[in-house]
Amino acid sequence: MKTIPHFLLLLGFVCLAGCSKDDPKKEDNSPAKYDKSSLGSYSGVLIGSTGYITIELKPAGASATIVFDDVTYLLTATAPIQPGTKVTGYTLQKDGVKIVMDVNADGSVPQVAVTIPGHEVTAVVFKVTSTNLVEKYTGSFSNTNSGTPQYNNSGTLNFVISGNSVTLLSKCITGDCDDHTVATMTGKIIRNGDAFTINFDNCNNAETICSLPFTKTAAGYRAVVVIAAGVQLAVEVKKVL
């Protein structure tokens, strides 16, 4: 008669004690864990000068990374966040750099106010989920008119893509700027291999830029739009992590 070795009996006992599939203490670490929660990851872009941001909300607190003018800021907060609740006025700050965040209980409509000393910062973020990744692009634009009146201006242009939705921020910095406020435009993205086109919402007059067709370049992506005779808008962006 064959006998079962003692070490196999011991392994079986250990597994019965600690290998239950229904262990209620086992933490859910699946990618979809926070898909419908205010907790989870948020990602977006900034304009003041230029940069991008990631925020992680967890039950025990939050962390954030801001890259702004090639300087990285790391912020944390230890105030607990109750799962399944709306987040209002949640604050992370360090050395004068501050983030104040609001978001609905299901992770929708995230709003972020960012303070960086010496800058007026505008930010837009989207929720990252297991089925909806967020892409961030930072870059610049130039707008020229070789006709009459001649002008040449340039500035910062950043945008964030969530699914097929796009929010774009731009700010004229140098040249013949009408003003230096931040313009916000929303739209939808259509992809074609490495190329993609942003079709903007509310395009209802001849002076409005209705789309930006981007093609891939060695440095990132480029779009050129002829607005009118002699008037051209050129945009250069790169994708950031």
- CATH number of the domain where residue 214 is located: 2.40.128
Q: What is the pLDDT of residues 67-80, one digit of tens each?
A: 999 999 999 999 99
Query: What residue numbers bound the domain in which 101 lies?
Result: 40-128
Same domain assignment for residues 120 and 155:
no
- Under DSSP, the state recorded for 8 is H
CB 237 within 8 A of CB 214: yes
Residue 21: the pLDDT is: 47
Residue 128, both tokens = 């990252």
110 found inside a domain: yes
Give the global pTM: 0.84
Say whether pLDDT at 206 is over 60. no
CA gap 68, 162 in Å, rounded: 21
Give yes or no: residues 124 and 140 share one domain: no
Q: Which one has a higher pLDDT value, 8 or 91?
A: 91
Bond preceding residue 149 cis, omega within 30 of 0: yes
% residues pLDDT > 90 (the chain): 72
Q: What is the pLDDT of residue 10?
A: 36
